[in-house]
Copies of this chain bind each other. A is one copy, B any other.
Amino acid sequence: MTETKPPLWQQVRDEMARDIRSGKVYPGELLPTEKALSERLGVHRHTVRRALQELREQGLVRTEQGRGTVVLEQPFEYKMGRRTRFSENMSLNRLKARSHFLYGDVITASELVAGQLELRPRSRVSYIEMYGEAEGKRVFVASQYIPHVDMEDLIAVFRKTGSLTKAYRHYGIKDYFRKVSRITTRLSNPEETRLLKLKQKQPLLVVEYVNVDPSGRPIEFGITRFSGDRMEIVVEGN
């Protein structure tokens, strides 16, 4: 059994991957130039290029001709399933995640909202806007519509607890499920760009969903807009 060293380019790749994953180089930063790397590591530029090619395939870096190679932010995973809840989701990912209240009011449902919630047209609904952070980064903004029946103080309770799940529990809804999710993409508008602290308009993942209680009655219609380069949606099993 002879122990052989892996090829040079793989050693280079692994060393660079380590530096990136360990946080030695920060996301958004440029790596040293291929020339600088090859001189520092004592290998040919082609060897560095071979390593960079793999790092690109792994989604760790992005190379721009004439500019350099930038370290990419690794997106957070948003596991979407029947039991989807944002805060649980993120804490499972050992991330510090929090939702922040932006605005709440009782409004008249538009046709779309009434339809999704299976309410009569122009029913009254609670409307809540919030944004979410993970590891200090803004990762989503969300709008939620909740039937106003028997939940007059929902907004106040939500502000107190900071969690819709907890607010629901306060009203006797102990459990709920994701009925359907519709996923689209579009560029952020100025408002979203500001709220998500993006440098410029960028693609968003837009998830429109309906949550239902155990009896199948809709209790929440929501539109969540995820920052496309900070989040990815994972649908498992399914």
Residues of A within 8 A of B (CB): 54, 57-58, 75, 80-82, 110-112, 178-187, 203-205, 228-229, 232-238
Contacts and interface: CB of A to CB of B under 8 A. Distances in A.
A205 B184 contact: yes
Given A82-B237, A111-B57, A238-B178, A183 B203 contact: no
Given A54-B110, A186-B228, 14 more contacts: A54-B111, A58-B111, A80-B235, A81-B238, A179-B236, A180-B236, A180-B237, A182-B234, A182-B235, A186-B229, A187-B203, A205-B205, A235-B235, A238-B238
A235 to B, nearest CB: 4
Most B C-beta atoms less than 10 A away, residue of A110, A112, A185: A185
Contacts of A179: 236-237
A232 B184 contact: yes
Contacts of A57: 110-112
Query: Main SS of chain A's interface residues?
Result: strand
A179 B238 CA distance: 7
Given A57-B111, A110-B54, A111-B57, A185 B228 contact: yes
Nearest to A13: B111
A234 to B, nearest CB: 5
A184 B236 CA distance: 14
Contacts of A236: 179-181
Nearest to A208: B232
A11 B178 CA distance: 34
29 contacts: A54-B110, A54-B111, A80-B235, A80-B238, A81-B238, A82-B237, A178-B238, A179-B236, A180-B236, A181-B235, A181-B236, A181-B238, A182-B233, A182-B234, A183-B205, A183-B232, A183-B233, A183-B234, A184-B205, A184-B228, A184-B232, A184-B233, A185-B185, A185-B203, A185-B205, A186-B203, A203-B203, A203-B228, A235-B238
Contacts of A238: 80-82, 178, 181, 235, 238
